[in-house]
Structure 1
Amino acid sequence: MTTTLVTVAHGTRRDGGNEVARLLTAAAGERLGGPAVTTYVELSEPLFADVVAGLTEPAVVVPLLLSTGFHLRTDLPEALAEAGAPVRMGPSFGPDPLLAQAQVARLLEAGAQPGQRVVLVAAGSSDPDATADQLAAVAHLARAWDGPVELAVLSGLGTRFRDVVRPGDAVAPYLLSPGFFSDRVAKEAPEGVVVADVLGDHPLVVDLLVQRAQALLATPVG
């Protein structure tokens, strides 16, 4: 019986942002040698709830969500309760050392210098567990970068990006895809700040997706 890999991203009205999830899923499916489907919580199709309800064979779900929050606690479990076949879902995609290594690569691509002060900026959440995940991501990045890293957020709990970043800093967006939040980072960054690209479909992000899928596939679903 075939087991399908289903990824679930948040979804955005910007097609370029949704494309990142499709590229990651296609690359992981090719490496795993099995079917892989990209879905979204909202704002883009196919919707996760519709896909899992229509499953006819077992599936594993890897959320492409960087922190714990409402979607992982509520939306996705509610959709899984209506699944048409056995499904196992993994945890949030981050924090993880591989994501930190991908952020380092993006920083260097943007021209940041080793040892430069870095601000990791996350979208933000009202969930305290998401803040704990973001702080863990900061710790991973500080080890990988071997330099000072500060946390900032654009919404929710925590210190706002504009109050943390200063001229001479480098900025590492803790964002998977371009969209509303990456636009805000670029707009709010003061002059003289190096702003790295989002994580995107970096090969290390693909590696993490494959690892998460393999861990779920190691135990038969159903």
Structure 2
Amino acid sequence: MIDPALPLASAGPEDRHVPAPDDPAAVPPSPPPLIIAGHGTRVNSGAEAAYELVDRVRGLLPGVRVEAGFVELTPPTIDEALGAVLADSPAAVVVPLMLGTGGHVREDIPEAIDQAKALHTSATVVRTRHLGSPRQLIEAVHERIAQARGDWPAEETDVLMVGRGCSVTEANADHVRLSRVIFESGGYHQVLSGFIQVVRPSVPDILNQYYASGSRRIVVMPHFLFTGRLDEWVRGHVARFQDAHPDAEVRVADVIGPCDQLAQVVAQRYKEGALRARTTMGSPAYLAGLLLKGRKVVVVGGGCVARRRVPKLLEAGARVHVISPELHKSLLALAEAGAITWHARDYRPHDLHDAWYVLALTDSAEANAAIVDEAESRHTFCVRADNAEAGSAWTPATGDTAGVTVAAITSHDPLRARAIRNRFLEIVSEEGL
């Protein structure tokens, strides 16, 4: 492969530069520090939980400086924490510790970053996406609900998912969408959405609606990261409802808390941001040529992207297994000819057994994330088509000419990679290299 950051001319043995021990080029760049940008709380136990999460994230990111900053109430502020790390580092990654994309994510955190950068104008600061509701946090919600409902069967339990509520419609809609995901993946009798502030339906609204429909077993899930005033308000609403309706039983689940699942999501967001923070260094990928002849490669998804990738894998001599309920017609022809092994069903974790290389090419972000996680646990490199930064390998733009294969990888710009590849091909062809 050819890295576009390198010159085309190759150096002979006498030209090779061996860095001296004190040469900066001999020292690999340090990973950028991480600032976890939280909300802040007046409740001490909530602040302590936030710092417990910071410690967990540090354990998942050895060698990375991890600090916390807060929008309000809990010191230090985000700009103070960020300014402190930028005094020692040319770059940093900020991960919003927020479940939804409300005002803090859209306004307060960017403003804090701008304040810190005003004092460090040459610094690179990457703000990642908020946490959202990835698989790990959905698992954590189900665990909290299960702990609260105890011996109640799931199918006899109604769940109230309580969101923060804000003036941003998209954030409120995301909470309603999450409730649907919890309903379909948990097997509960009903799951409805309520909010603790700003918008309706409120917690009392949904509790009364459940009671009027005959529900007498209700689990209230405060969908917050840590305990605080919002959690206390939810419990207050429930206590008042319970006093007024003694024939119903309402159990309040714990908040998500500083658990392993939350730490894993924060670490993943950091890794996505750290790739972007290194864009001034060229592509962060380590270029290597995979010799796949006779080795098992698993492709999950049978659509247009798979149609482009599979023939290249076959040219490399790989034993290709395609996992997909349906296949593109060109792939179907390959399956009928015996060139690939087609498993006509959805993906299962054991499909990656003995795989040397994996491509997650489905239309489902959740499925692709699960494939990447399983591949990671098996130490198998995995390309993720819908979110390249979340995978562990990237597919370069490649081309062949005059017995030479050239490849280009950039940082987040496939069109540029293809243009560079085409230019390389022109040079090789025109100059007979």
Please classify the TM superposition score into its range, dividing by the shorter chain length. over 0.9
Q: Which residue of 2 aligns with 1:193?
A: 250
Q: Which residue of 2 aligns with 1:39?
A: 69
For 2:276, what is the secondary structure of its paired residue? coil
Distance apart, 1:139 and its partner CA: 2.5
Q: Taking every aligned residue pair, what percent have the same amino acid on both sides?
A: 27
CA distance in 2, matches of 1:66, 1:220: 23
Query: Pairwise mapping of residues 6-85 of structure 1 onto structure 2 (< 5 A)?
Result: 6-33=35-62, 34-54=64-84, 55-56=86-87, 57=89, 58-82=91-115, 83=117, 84=120, 85=123
2:195 aligned partner, one-letter code = V
Deviates more, 1:36-45 or 1:132-141: 132-141
Q: Contact conserved, 1:95 with 1:134, CA < 8 A, in 2? A: no
Q: Contact conserved, 2:40 with 2:71, CA < 8 A, in 1? A: yes
CA distance in 2, matches of 1:173, 1:97: 18
1:170-197 per-position Cα deviation (integer Å, ceiling 9, x unaligned) = 1111111111111111111133111100
CA distance in 2, matches of 1:110, 1:206: 22
Unaligned runs of 5+ in 1: none
CA distance in 2, matches of 1:41, 1:144: 33
Query: Pairwise mapping of residues 151-166 of structure 1 onto structure 2 (< 5 A)?
Result: 151-165=193-207, 166=211
1:140 aligned partner, one-letter code = V
CA distance in 1, matches of 2:48, 2:60: 19
Q: Which residue of 2 aligns with 1:4?
A: 33
Q: Point out which structure has higher relative CO (alpha carbons under 8 A, 6+ apart).
A: 1
CA distance in 1, matches of 2:172, 2:193: 10
For 2:47, what is the secondary structure of its paired residue? helix
Distance apart, 1:136 and its partner CA: 2.4
Q: Between Structure 1 and Structure 2, whose CA radius of gyration is higher?
A: 2
Query: Pairwise mapping of residues 69-148 of structure 1 onto structure 2 (< 5 A)?
Result: 69-82=102-115, 83=117, 84=120, 85-112=123-150, 113=152, 114-115=154-155, 116-147=157-188, 148=190
Counterpart of 1:172 (choices 193, 203, 221) is 221
CA distance in 2, matches of 1:35, 1:175: 26
Q: Contact conserved, 2:124 with 2:277, CA < 8 A, in 1? A: no
Unaligned runs of 5+ in 2: 1-28, 243-248, 281-433
2:112 aligned partner, one-letter code = A
For 1:219, what is the secondary structure of its paired residue? helix
The number of residue pairs the alignment matches comes to 222
CA distance in 2, matches of 1:143, 1:96: 15
1:115-137 per-position Cα deviation (integer Å, ceiling 9, x unaligned) = 21111001211211211221222
CA distance in 2, matches of 1:200, 1:131: 21
CA distance in 2, matches of 1:79, 1:133: 25
Q: Contact conserved, 1:94 with 1:137, CA < 8 A, in 2? A: no
CA distance in 1, matches of 2:182, 2:125: 32
1:87-113 per-position Cα deviation (integer Å, ceiling 9, x unaligned) = 111122223332221011111122343
Q: Contact conserved, 2:92 with 2:277, CA < 8 A, in 1? A: no
Distance apart, 1:219 and its partner CA: 3.3
Q: Contact conserved, 2:126 with 2:276, CA < 8 A, in 1? A: no
Q: Contact conserved, 1:67 with 1:94, CA < 8 A, in 2? A: yes
